[in-house]
Amino acid sequence: MTRPRRPDPPPLETNDVRIAVAGTAAWAVALVVLLIVGADRWWLWVCVTGIAIGLFAIWYVPRLQSGRARQEAARAADRAPADPE
């Protein structure tokens, strides 16, 4: 006999832009450290690419979230019953 399945927990609210900023800052710190140490160029380009992807995420994530919020609002408006007049 199987137990009834518990409902899924609600999704966590996170600050995705803050996470992208922290990751970008970590890549920038790594780049500075590698420049001081004098590492191979390959590693420097890895850091530069990480910074570029992080900057793109900082730009893109707010647009993604606002688009999703607009879609959800439109779906909720479509699901709402029309006012009988």
pLDDT score for 70: 93
How many domains are there within the chain?
Answer: 1
Note whether residue 2 is domain-resident. Answer: no
Note whether residue 65 is domain-resident. Answer: yes
Note whether residue 80 is domain-resident. Answer: no
Q: Domain range for residue 30?
A: 16-72
Q: For the residues 57-74, what does the mean pLDDT come to?
A: 93
Note whether residue 26 is domain-resident. Answer: yes
pLDDT per position as a tens digit, 3-56 = 899 999 998 989 999 999 999 999 999 999 999 999 899 999 999 999 999 999
Note whether residue 51 is domain-resident. Answer: yes
Interior/surface letters 48-58, b for 16+ CB within 10 angstroms, e for the rest: eebbeebeebb
Note whether residue 47 is domain-resident. Answer: yes
Note whether residue 84 is domain-resident. Answer: no
- Distance between CA atoms of residues 24 and 51, nearest Å: 5
